[in-house]
Chains A and B, each alone.
Chain A
Amino acid sequence: MRYLPLTDADRKAMLAAIGVASVDDLFIDVPQAVRRDAPVELPPHASEYEVERRLTELAGRNLVAGSGPFFLGAGAYRHHVPATVDALIQRGEFLTSYTPYQPEVSQGTLQYLFEFQTQVALITGMEVANASMYDGATATAEAAAMACRITRRKSILLSGSLHPHYRSVTATALQFSGLTVEALDPDPLDLEDLIGRVGPETACVVVQNPGFFGRIVDLSALAAVCHDEGALLVVAVAEPVSLGLIEPPGAMGADIVVAEGQSIGNALNFGGPGLGLFATRERFVRQMSGRVVGQTVDADGRRGWVLTLSTREQHIRREKATSNICTNSGLCALAFTIHLALLGEAGLRKLAEINHAKAVRLAEKLQPVKGVRLLSQTFFNEFAVALSKPAADVVETLASRRILAGVPASRFYPSYPELDEVLLLAATEMTSEADMDSLVAALKEVLS
């Protein structure tokens, strides 16, 4: 077996050194009744080409996003990832290292995480960031809990603009914590009144920008009201490329910013693993959960980096920790930081411009189509339309023609019949004019 270096001769010599007759003698603490003598009912070991054959067959049963016109978003975006990113993250010293607990032999990981933290703080317009979390949804739940610790209040208000998975993950995570989570109805037309709901009991308001249904909102007034009432404003960003073009949450008064970082540097991967970004104000840093890298000096006075503020974490605080979280999303953070290093200031801005322009083009092309009505007045690279037919049926019909035509809102909100006709459509730098024309032609046919 190719992954096991010991030979039978080695095993024999080692058993002799230990002073036992067989490996079974090393399992003597396992009660006899539960020891199994034979392998379980699963296939035996296989060659590399045999495994490749079986998995390639499974992969072949999926419709590849890049194989035709593709307009899906809803929190996961299909951007181009430069070849350099994937080549560098596969370097063994990155891929096969553990959490950088021994800083003398982990300066590579520590330095890139310090750079990552800086990039996240810069794009969100915040002061500090952690070294990442599982995904945008779990980061949102962590942010809401953190706001409750800071304000010592228990009431969390979730906007209808928040991604439905972020909503349900937050509600699930906090259901036994003694905190109250109020989630407003999904809100494609931006009619909800958040400001009127902020009161002296409110710990935080959680909004998404651009919203789940695409809208970009100026959050400054909401931030001001939150601060007047002693509450915090938490802003979620599902598409971080947008931060190259629109005013960042930090500039609008956010106290905590969380984001899903997948769309920079990471493939779709059917939704996982993700990359939770988490940024906040410096004064809140000790209430932040997740791993953090800090700068220091070594015994010779040279600059270096270490994991710091660990006393917030579970391995020291145990049940009093700020969170049970133990890992970050290291390799996804590495992909993110390399892609952003390649883009730089000019590249991120231009990429964002292209994404927005493509989405505007798509909206313009859809405008004259009978049975399509644009719902989002403002948007970045994704918007909501109302169709004259149930969106899920239209998407299914177009999929059979190998056009992946967006995400129907009913997939998340089956109990809101008023959303049955709502479809989310995204465009990125990967979307061509020809793709758009194929979609428009197909919609004309299906909706007529």
Chain B
Amino acid sequence: MTKTISGSRGLTIEEPLLFEQGSPEQCGVDLEEPPAVVDRLGGLRRKAPIGLPGLAEPTVVRHYTRLSQKNFGIDSVFYPLGSCTMKHNPRLNEKMARLAGFADVHPFQPESTVQGALALIDLMAHWLKTLTGMPAVAMTPAAGAHGEFCGLMTIRAALEDRGETRTRVLVPESAHGTNPASAAACGFTVDPIPANRRGRVDLAALKSKLGPDVAAFMLTNPNTCGLFEDEILEISEAVHAAGAFFYGDGANYNAIVGRVRVADLGIDAMHINLHKTFSTPHGGGGPGAGPTVLSAALAPFAPLPGVIHDDTGFHLVEHAVGSGRKPCGRIKGYHGQFGVFIRALSYMMSMGADGLRQSASDAVLNANYLLARLSSDLTPSFEGPCMHEALFDDRFLKDSGVSTLDFAKALIDEGFHPMTMYFPLVVHGALLMEPTESESKETLDGFIASVQGLARRAKAGDGELFHNAPEFTPRRRLDETAAARSPVLRWSPAGGNGDKK
């Protein structure tokens, strides 16, 4: 490819760091002169310069616009990232979250001035409880992993209240890494449960590990292989017979919302990733929200605060004393991810009971369409229909010299975000595709054509194409080993732990 003088290539424009632009006296905001006062800083005025650059507003706008152009997003490309549910993010959600009556409200205003905000949290809770059939929900977890932490904390508090010491949490090998990490954070030891040949929990292995020291069994359902745990009722019965709690990881709830109620599965606690099932933006990695539905046995132990309703209006319960509850504590500042609730509720109201059910149906239909159309060129890991995501392994690449990673990178050049790779860990070289309900048949057909074509090229021995991919991106493959061996985590004027260009 011809090298340009600037390094930019048409729409792909090289952009230096903020710190390599502007000058300290430049500024992108206009501020009034402060009133003259005698300071009350106690002699602790900042001495040295901070080291921030100064840029005028147009420079800042161009900087971030150029950076944005180096990203794939759902708005621009098909993003079948398994386990992450990259569905459409409606802009109505954004508009609603920016209403002054929501955005410009302080968390510690008197209750009488925030009745609308409390009503919104209560309404959101009502939707989640009705959809899942669960009697209670803890609204404050900030993300899925935080919801796991909340659920396990609540379980631990309930066990202590019963006077029981149970120290083990059982987690399937196929689980997200957050499951064992959350269990460890709550002081439990983690015991893995193997999968059976059908990609589901090995029920016999589970039963053999259940005992009087088991606090909980954690299960993602549909599981991380994209399969519904068809023995879930037997699992739930066995877990409860052992006196343990059944924790549901709701990461894949989008596959069953409106079609299956969580309460009917015997689950005691389950977090719901609002950024997956209910369309709030992933935002390059957050913020999310992970409200956690709870059974009646666990409800009194939910963390503070909670919203209640009586004749005088809505109230926040911020303290245990006098509340009639036995909360496990507080897990988050203020009252939860309020801004995320607005977006999720805006989506739920838009979809309604019928639309949410249809979204699960379409998500499952789209995934099975990919599974069916790709089965002859790729190697599906398990037989039978899948739920919302289709799992393949790397047997189809055997002896091609092309790895799952290479295959994914070649998809980038085709204009698609890759599927999830190497997860779940229970199959070799996993490729996990989650199309979501947001994609049209035309998009899926285009993707299928590219995947089929690439698979045939790989088998035909065109290894070089894959090893060199991606070629048409702002950067080609990056040296992650060098980044980890001598980490440069910030810019600094002297270079050193800074610019090593």
Contacts and interface: CB of A to CB of B under 8 A. Distances in A.
Interface stretch (A56-64, A152-160, A196-204, A438-446): A56-64
A111 to B, nearest CB: 6
A414 B259 CA distance: 45
B51 A95 contact: no
Interface string A110-131: 0111110111011100011101
A345 B336 contact: no
B110 A94 contact: no
A4 B106 contact: no
Given A93-B76, A293-B489, A327-B143, A39 B354 contact: yes
B92 interface: yes
Nearest to A173: B331
Contact of A3 (B40, B189, B351, B500): B351
21 contacts: A3-B351, A13-B441, A43-B352, A44-B354, A56-B99, A84-B28, A95-B73, A102-B412, A104-B412, A138-B333, A172-B303, A216-B41, A270-B334, A274-B334, A305-B478, A324-B181, A330-B287, A350-B31, A350-B34, A356-B39, A429-B32
A113 B286 CA distance: 12
A66 B104 contact: yes
Nearest to A246: B44
Given A26-B365, A58-B119, A272 B46 contact: no
B102 A270 contact: yes
A251 B338 CA distance: 35
A375 interface: no
B212 interface: no
A306 B490 CA distance: 12
B184 to A, nearest CB: 4
B116 A61 contact: yes
Given A62-B115, A172-B153, A270-B117, A72 B40 contact: no
Contacts of B70: 93, 105-108, 111
Nearest to B15: A111
Given A6-B441, A26-B385, A27-B364, A94 B68 contact: yes
Among B28, B185, B478, max chain A CB count under 10 A is at B478
Given A3-B351, A30-B228, A90-B94, A334 B261 contact: no
Given A30-B256, A272-B340, A361-B35, A63 B364 contact: no
A99 B285 contact: yes
Contacts of B75: 92-93, 95-96
Contacts of B174: none
Nearest to B262: A34
A187 interface: no
The size bracket of the interface on A is 35 or more
Contacts of A41: 130, 353
B164 interface: no
Contacts of B289: 273
Contacts of A334: 283-284
Given A34-B233, A127-B497, A292 B489 contact: yes
B286 A55 contact: no
Contact of B258 (A40, A91, A169, A314): A40
B126 to A, nearest CB: 8
B181 A177 contact: no
A270 B335 contact: yes
B285 A100 contact: yes
Interface in B70-91: 70-76, 79, 81, 84, 86, 88-90
Contact of B185 (A82, A171, A323): A323
Given A295-B483, A342-B29, A346-B25, A326 B101 contact: no
A131 to B, nearest CB: 8
A61 B101 contact: yes
Given A323-B181, A324-B181, A347 B29 contact: yes
Nearest to B64: A88
B54 A345 contact: yes
A354 B44 contact: no
A272 B334 contact: yes
Contact of B264 (A34, A39, A169): A34
B339 A273 contact: yes
A317 B189 CA distance: 14
A252 to B, nearest CB: 9
Contacts of A331: 281, 283-284, 286-287
B281 A4 contact: no
Contacts of A348: 50, 52
A344 interface: yes
B470 A104 contact: yes
Contacts of A260: 333
Contacts of B318: 411
Given A270-B117, A354-B31, A378-B41, 10 more contacts: A29-B385, A97-B74, A98-B417, A114-B490, A127-B497, A172-B153, A178-B187, A298-B475, A313-B177, A331-B283
Interface in B248-264: 256, 258-261, 264
B60 A378 contact: no
Contacts of B95: 52
Contact of B477 (A88, A118, A244, A299): A299
B358 A4 contact: yes
A273 B354 contact: no
Nearest to B255: A27
B50 A88 contact: no
B110 A399 contact: yes
A23 B259 CA distance: 12
Contacts of A172: 153, 303, 328-331
Nearest to B183: A319
B27 to A, nearest CB: 4
Contact of B106 (A76, A358, A363): A76
B358 A106 contact: no
Contacts of A118: 17, 19, 490-492
